[in-house]
Amino acid sequence: MSHFNSNSLFTGGIRGRTIMEAAAKGASAGVSSKADSLLNRTMMQLLEHVEYRLITGGEDLEAIYRLRYQSYLKSGMCGPIASGMFEDRWDNLPNSYRFGVYCYGELVSTLRFHYISSEQPYSPSIDAYPEVLLPRLARGETFIDGTRFATDPDAAPAPGVLPFLTLRIAMVASNYFGQDSVLTPVKVEHSHFYARFFNAVQRSEAKQFPGVLAPIALFEIPAGENMRRTLERFPFYNSTPMEQRLMFGNPAINRLTPLTILPTAKYYRTAA
């Protein structure tokens, strides 16, 4: 397998720290701007070797369930499971989208989404935080609920890139659905990343979350102007309408062959 050359991209000017660390800990606007620029250059190069797969069955589905299990077991999110796979009752809902992220042909991370509306109010966050979300659904708000985020750090092409590669799917989804906000149920100790890069706001205290052992708090990433600023700051999150339609135009729950989608951030300006 070819390896992404991260030496110059991840060390020059930031004293050996990863991009994420540099951007999150930057003490000045200049340091932060420099880290953002480095992140954008790195991610644009890396996206040349990435593909996203909308997975609905077959061996790829088993692979993301195994990745979930290995990641969750290592982090204490779940206990031993005889099958070695982690799946749940929300995986096969009609508003569910399961993705694998592949780099150089290898599975490196996975993420699942539910698009939630008053017509389809089904997702783990709805069950975990009904007091927060049901009144808003009744008012006509819509959400994307991102759950079951899992990574294989040993397969990462460079330090610190997997969250950005994986959560790019959320930005593509946001452009497609035009929802009011993205829901991100996470451990409170991980929330600084979502606040730093997406302006996420905490909406609940940490509590028992369906299917996992660790207490989880609900964070919300507002759409609209907030998403527009995020796309301007990080252009690798941009996507063409074609990429958006391929990812989310049809969940195709019964499809046995995964649908492979190539990132289109580099084509965004010419296709817009």
Q: What CATH number should be reported for the domain holding residue 173? A: 3.40.630.30
Residue 256 CB: number of other CB atoms within 10 A? 10
Confirm whether 55 is domain-assigned: yes
Confirm whether 16 is domain-assigned: no
CB neighbour list of residue 121: distance below 8 Å, 6 or more residues apart: 134, 137
Please write the tens of the pLDDT for every residue from 149-177.
999 988 888 888 999 999 999 999 999 99
DSSP, res 146: E
pLDDT of residue 124: 96
pLDDT of residue 70: 95
Confirm whether 263 is domain-assigned: no
Q: How far apart are CA 165 and CA 31, in angstroms?
A: 22
Q: Which domain holds residue 193?
A: 51-257
Confirm whether 270 is domain-assigned: no
Confirm whether 86 is domain-assigned: yes
Beta bridge partners of 216: 207
Q: How far apart are CA 171 and CA 221, in angstroms?
A: 11
Cα 251 off chain centre by: 17
pLDDT of residue 237: 94
Residues of the chain short of pLDDT 70, as ranges, are: 1-32, 250-258, 267-272
pLDDT of residue 25: 52
pLDDT of residue 72: 94
**Half-sphere exposure in the Cβ direction for 176 (13 Å, CA):** 22
Q: How many domains does the chain have?
A: 1
Confirm whether 23 is domain-assigned: no
Cα 136 off chain centre by: 23
Confirm whether 131 is domain-assigned: yes
Burial of 52-63, coded b for 16+ CB within 10 Å and e otherwise, reads bbbbbbeebbeb
pLDDT of residue 1: 39
Confirm whether 139 is domain-assigned: yes
